[in-house]
Amino acid sequence: MKNKKPIICILSQQHFSHKHVSRDCINAFEEALLRNQEAEFERVYVSEFIFKVNRKIKKNLLSDWKIIRNVRRQKPDYLFVIAMSVNDLYYLAGTLNKINIPKIAYCFDTWEATMDKWKAAVTTAGVEYVLCAYKRSVEKFKGFVKKSSFVPQAMNEKIFFPKSVEKNRLFMQMGRKNKKLHEYVLKYMQENNLPESEYVFERVPGEIIFPEFEELATEMCKSWFFICAPRNLDEQKFTGDISEVTARYYEGMACKTLIVGFKPQDTFDELFPNENAMIEITDYKSFSKAVNYFLNNKKEYERIVNENYCFLIENHTWDHRANDVVQFIRNLGI
């Protein structure tokens, strides 16, 4: 195996009709794997019909025999599945456990509250190896799989990059809002008599403001400050001890907006050792002070966002993660 390129089949959901910016992370990772020159990645498409039926009956009874036939025909060394949620793996389990080759699953949202479901899905699907987007999850899979490893999230530099648009708003906070940071922004706007247009955020819980990646990236580029906080600060019952770096941190830096907020405690400094990768604040006073400082020191602002952007390009694209996957496979020595 070490002397030849491993052959890996990717089970792809890229053609599914359901679109979402989170699922686009899967697509970007998949495309990076297919570009990788150190292994032979082949794509096999999942049947959306069978997946939807299994989801509807909340079972993994139906098997996708077209996948099974296509995988067997290619005679790969490994089968690779990218799962945003446990359901992406669970509803494919009926198919996966009929394919008798080593299986690797890259798992995104392995939160504490969902860990028992992940373990059940991994066991049911016969997955031997798990790559976790969250570092603390790696230990939790030990004993259930042959090997687990940390492969952090990343960003798609073909979509998230500095666009030639004017920075015409101060603040942006995507998806789930951190209550304290949200209040800080509103207070700052009130104190400075700023219009609502200076702040983009989710006004209705679960609302998708920008359903397309390209639009989201453009709106990030228009914002001076990207407001971020780890999920565990709001939903610790769900996340448990996991305080990880999600895709939004990478994407905000890639669009040359300055990350301001509460720092993820588990891996942020490990992934971003450069100074001022984000502006960590503690209370409203420090928030207001930071915003005013950078609005009045635009050269310093430009220096920091440029440094962050360059560091990302050198270390945190999905192509880097594809290299990590290939190295993991080569280290298995099978």
Query: What mean pLDDT comes out for the span 274-290?
Result: 96
pLDDT in tens, 25-49: 888 999 999 999 999 999 998 887 8
Q: Is the pLDDT of residue 97 over 90?
A: no
- Please say whether the beta carbons of 78 and 101 come within 8 A: yes
Average pLDDT in the chain? 91
* Dist CA 133 CA 109 (whole Å): 7
Q: What's the CA angle centered on 282, arms 307 and 259, to 5 degrees?
A: 25
Contact in structure between 76 and 7 (CB atoms under 8 Å): yes
**For residue 2, is pLDDT > 60?**
no
**What would the pLDDT profile of 124-137 be if each residue is shown by its tens digit?**
899 999 999 999 99
What Cα–Cα distance (Å) separates residue 88 from each residue in 108, 109, 195?
A: 10, 11, 41
Separation between Cα atoms, residue 147 and residue 139, nearest integer Å: 10
Q: Specify the pTM.
A: 0.92
Tell me the CATH number for domain 169-315. Answer: 3.40.50.2000
Specify the amino acid at residue 35. Answer: R
Cα distance between the two ends of the chain? 6
Checking if the pLDDT of 110 tops 90, the result is: yes
Under the banding of pLDDT at 50, 70 and 90, the label for residue 1 is very low
Interatomic CA distance for residues 71 and 128, integer angstroms: 17
pLDDT at 5 over 50: yes
Could you give the CA distance from residue 246 to residue 224 in angstroms, rounded to a whole number? 20
Q: Please give the DSSP secondary-structure letter assigned to residue 113.
A: G
From the CB of residue 204, how many other CB atoms can be counted at a distance below 10 Å? 7
What is the residue extent of each domain of the chain? 7-153+317-332, 169-315
Q: At the top level of CATH, which class does the domain 7-153+317-332 belong to?
A: alpha beta
pLDDT digits (tens, 9 = 90+) for 136-145: 999 999 888 9
The predicted model gives 180-202 an average pLDDT of: 96
169-315: same fold as 7-153+317-332? yes
What percent of the chain lies above the pLDDT cut of 90? 66
pLDDT at 63: 81
For residues 266 and 277, the model is more confident at: 277
185, two tokens: 């922004």
pLDDT of residue 223: 97
**pLDDT-based confidence at residue 174 (cuts at 50, 70, 90):** confident
| Cα distance between residue 244 and residue 152, in whole Å | 9
- pLDDT for position 18: 60
H or E element, residue 289? helix 284-296
> Tell me, what's the pLDDT at 17?
59
Of 267, 264, 31, 42, the C-alpha closest to 157 is 31
For the chain, percent of residues with pLDDT exceeding 70: 96
Distance, in Å, from the CA atom of 184 to the CA atom of 19, rounded to the nearest integer, reads: 32
- pLDDT at res. 4: 80
Q: What's the whole-number mean pLDDT along residues 212-220?
A: 90
Span 265-280, average pLDDT: 94
Output the six-digit token pair for 149.
């490893």
User: How many residues in the chain?
Assistant: 334
- 292-326 confidence digits (pLDDT tens): 999 999 999 999 999 999 999 999 999 999 999 99
